[in-house]
Amino acid sequence: MEAYRTIAVTAPELAAHYEIQKSKFITHLQHVESEDEARAFVTAMKKKYYDARHNCSAWVLGPDARLQKSNDDGEPGGTAGNPILEAIKQNQLTDIVVVVTRYFGGIKLGAGGLIRAYSHSAVLGLQAAQMLQMTPLQEVGITLDYSLLATVQNYLRAHAIRCGEPCYTEQVTLPLQVEPARVESLLTALTDLTSANFSHVQGKEVLVPVPVEL
């Protein structure tokens, strides 16, 4: 299981606006996980901006970002869809679709101008989105006596280890999520902290979204 970057699912509500030489560019983007979802979003944007000259798009899909597609939607070949796609790739994002709508202002921008305009519009949209690092974490359940709870929780906070809602029974169980490479050192540290007075169960490895600060 490998880490990868995507955007938060709230992204459809975001839009970026850019104007140059009287042409108006509007960028929308969405988290998607299939080509059908990507196509549906592009279709929705074309329907919303039916009166626009162009609704150019690009998407990248899959944890390995293997599936990539761009569409110039009537702009000169390579001047719209590809710059949008490159903006996505430069941010190392996947499971994302970006649509840049253009209202033509009557002044031709030329091939170079179009490439810069669509690239800049895509970047503006990406900057408005919350980027997430999908990070592989190992689930580990720690069970111990209540007398040891405060000591262990302090350690977890100090080492930025994710801990879910504790389960309180005769003992307390802490559901942890930790980087796979840190599991062994965590268990060693807890053994020292508790004098080995705890038990643990390893669960599955999961992908957890972690906000990326740019």
Is a pLDDT exceeding 90 seen at residue 9?
no
Give the mean model confidence (pLDDT) for residues 49-65. Answer: 96
Q: Is the pTM of this model over 0.75?
A: yes
Q: What is the pLDDT of residues 175-210, one digit of tens each?
A: 999 999 999 999 999 999 999 999 999 999 999 998
- What does pLDDT average to over the chain? 94
* C-alpha of 146 from chain center: 38
Alpha-carbon gap, residue 50 to 212, rounded angstroms = 34
Is a pLDDT exceeding 80 seen at residue 8?
yes
Supply the pLDDT for residue 39: 97
Across the chain, where does the E strand assignment appear?
4-7, 15-20, 23-31, 54-61, 67-71, 96-103, 131-144, 162-163, 167-168, 172-178, 198-211
Domains of the chain: 4-129 (3.30.230.30), 135-211 (3.30.70.240)
Supply the pLDDT for residue 214: 59
Q: What is the pLDDT of residues 143-163, one digit of tens each?
A: 999 999 999 999 999 999 999
- Confidence category of residue 12, pLDDT binned at 50, 70, 90: low
Tokens 């305009």: give the residue: 117
Residue 167 CB partners (closer than 8 Å, separation 6+): 173, 175
What percentage of the chain has pLDDT greater than the value 70? 97
| Phi, psi (degrees; rounded to nearest 5) at 121 | -65, -45
- Confidence category of residue 15, pLDDT binned at 50, 70, 90: confident
* C-alpha of 198 from chain center: 36
Least confident of 12-16, 47-51, 131-135, 172-176: 12-16
